[in-house]
Structure 1
Amino acid sequence: MDQTAAFNALVRAYHSDLYRYAYWLSHDAAIAEDCVQETFVRAWRNWQQLRDQSKVKAWLLTILRREHARIYQRQPQAEHLDVDEMTFPAPEPHDDTQVQQLRSLIAQLPLEYREPLLMQLVVGLSGEQIGEVLGLEKNAVMVRLHRAREKLKQMANVQFPASQQESS
């Protein structure tokens, strides 16, 4: 398979995952698509630097995260968004109440826990892959994932009415 065909296969394989993650980061479809497109442009330019094909997804997510940060660096300071202050997009109409509540709870997690959790849930990365993207050891990622889940459980106990807790 030539380089162009291999890269096209890579785009087809990872576009959806990258878009979903970019949308979670930006909460804007146009910005998410711009991030994904720029990610693939940068990946194409640096294709020869990728030595381990098994790490391509983590490599692409690293590029995406950097591109997302660049977008906000290029905006005037008045328009700069604080990632910790961002709200998540409105749930889709077909989402049930539990999904809406879970989205709301995830949005309240500190960034250090929310980011690896979303990488696992939205993009499907392993602990090792998340560590590669975030520059952390796998054990540190696993601790953050565990703490994220524990915090979600604690928040759910506080926010969900007792009658819902008992019926679940």
Structure 2
Amino acid sequence: MIKECCNKIDNNKVLLSMAIKKKRYEALVQVYHSELYRFAYWLCHDPTIAEDLVQETFLRAWRSLESLQDDKAAKPWLLTILRRENARRFERKQFDYADVENNTLEDNKSVTLDDEMEQTVIHRQINKLSPEYREPLLLQVVMGCSGEEIADILELNKNTVMTRLYRARNQLKEALTDNHEPIKGALN
């Protein structure tokens, strides 16, 4: 009788623990899915691959959800997982980027042809930056991460991150002003 009662208590603890984990996971997906997708798309420029990266990210997050001690650290934690998933993609298969179409994400707003062309030019110039400059810039601009969050995600010193952001902006500004007339809204 006592053993049976203890088993019921243990089962209830397990069920409660699983329910808590499920709710926590669902909250992460709901809050961060679109942001992760946007960042993944910037990394790979393919909607299908971006969605696969996000799914793999959330699968790994589910498996190691217990390691996320502070929910405030969820965004950098998920971005780190996504970056590593993207790196694994290159380990598994090398892609020919000459055939990759350079589309921009469609926005709900109607975009004029000039605006679309400007976005394409900016997108291409950002992609020409070396990864050490492109990645922190995308984390800041696309994901809205702070310098400290970027430092945590990239496992770098905050001063290094700030220097790379400064250099990325300068390189982008030079590329946009050297190759074209100044673009409205470009970094000055």
Partner of 2:12: none
Q: Sequence identity, in percent? A: 46
**Cα deviation 1:61-91 (Å, max 9, x = unaligned):** 111111111122222xxxx1388x8967223
Matches within 5 A, 1:111-122: 111-122=131-142
**Count of aligned positions:** 160
1:141 corresponds to which of 134, 156, 161: 161
Partner of 1:18: 36
- The separation in 1 between residues aligned to 2:84 and 2:28, in whole angstroms, is 19
TM-score (norm 1): 0.84
Larger Rg: 2
For structure 2, the 5+ residue unaligned runs are 1-18
Matches within 5 A, 1:44-83: 44-75=62-93, 80-81=94-95
Partner of 1:109: 129
* Paired amino acid for 1:81: F
CA RMSD of aligned residues (A): 2.5
The higher relative CO (CA closer than 8 Å, separation ≥ 6) is in 1
- The separation in 1 between residues aligned to 2:27 and 2:151, in whole angstroms, is 25
**Cα deviation 1:30-53 (Å, max 9, x = unaligned):** 111111111111111101111222
TM-score (norm 2): 0.76
Partner of 2:14: none
Q: Secondary structure at the match of 2:142?
A: helix
Contact 1:88 1:104 in 2 (8 A): no
Partner of 1:90: 103
Contact 2:45 2:103 in 1 (8 A): no
